[in-house]
Amino acid sequence: MRHIKRLLLLILVVYLLPAMASAGWWLLRDHPRTWREADWTTAHVLPKADADRNAAIYIMSAGTGGLKGAVASHSWIVTKASGDTTYNRYDKVGWGAPIRRNNYVADAYWYSNTPHIVREIKGAEAARLIPEVEAAIQAYPHAGVGDYRIYPGPNSNSFVAHVLRRVPDLGTVLPPDAVGRDFLADGRMFEIDADGRDMHVTLYGLVGVAAGQRSGFEVHFMGLVAGVDIANPGLKIPAIGRIGL
């Protein structure tokens, strides 16, 4: 019984208190009441696509809508091949055929929330990786009508995280508030990234661990992520995000 109490206290301190603090802060701010009232226009985060003919890849993230926005974000992928003057944006959404291409402006607000760049790659490296990224997108197994589940996944973050695992040279993982990122494709419970440098163990995205060069060390509980980033020193705080040291 003593060990159970200690475990419950640990869960409260590490996972639930940050989530409640994030929810409290969310309640103090103004939010659009419906998706129709939200701002979906460009946030001018990315450079104009026609200003630089070099290839580019951006992994983007922004707070999501409704009460879930208190603890969760939405992520997407943006690419631009060498010589192109427009971006291509890839999202997974919850209606119709879920994988959408250019359904929104590349750097649009998401439910009026300003996006930020999780990872940016430009030039020759981006040109090399874009075919791999597009192949991983095309091969995503949860791309059919009805292949979306907001929690624990497969959702928008499950899709982007899958691409990051399949193309490890992108060199990043999604933020700790990207709920659903730890749901593995086909409901698998174990996966090693394509380059063997990160390992993921999960019970359908609900409880699990991740460890490796990009993940550092993470413990997942009910979609919330706590951990330590080793390569780029920092703490991963559930529902709040990454804080650099």
> What does the pLDDT look like over 129-176, one tens digit per residue?
999 999 999 999 999 999 999 999 999 999 999 999 999 999 999 999
Could you give the CA distance from residue 175 to residue 203 in angstroms, rounded to a whole number? 20
> What does the pLDDT look like over 35-77, one tens digit per residue?
889 999 999 999 999 988 899 999 999 999 888 888 999 999 9
C-alpha distances out from residue 37 to 41, 57, 96, 110, Å = 12, 30, 22, 12
What pLDDT does 162 receive?
A: 97
- What does pLDDT average to over the chain? 92
What pLDDT does 243 receive?
A: 84
Cβ(175)–Cβ(118) below 8 Å: yes
> What does the pLDDT look like over 76-87, one tens digit per residue?
999 999 999 999
What amino acid occupies position 164? L
Residue 43 CB coordination number (10 Å): 20
Strands 190-192 and 198-202: antiparallel
What amino acid occupies position 34? T
Percent of the chain surpassing pLDDT 90: 71
Is it the case that residue 216 has pLDDT exceeding 90? yes
Strand order across the beta sheet in which 224-229 lies = 190-192, 198-202, 207-212, 216-221, 224-229, 234-237, 241-244
Could you give the CA distance from residue 142 to residue 128 in angstroms, rounded to a whole number? 25
Q: Which of 55, 157, 40, 42 is nearest to 107 (CA)?
A: 42
What pLDDT does 10 receive?
A: 66
Q: Which residues pair with 73 in a beta bridge?
A: 63
Estimate to the nearest angstrom the gap between the alpha carbon of 91 and the chain centroid: 11
**Would you say the pTM of this structure is higher than 0.85?**
yes
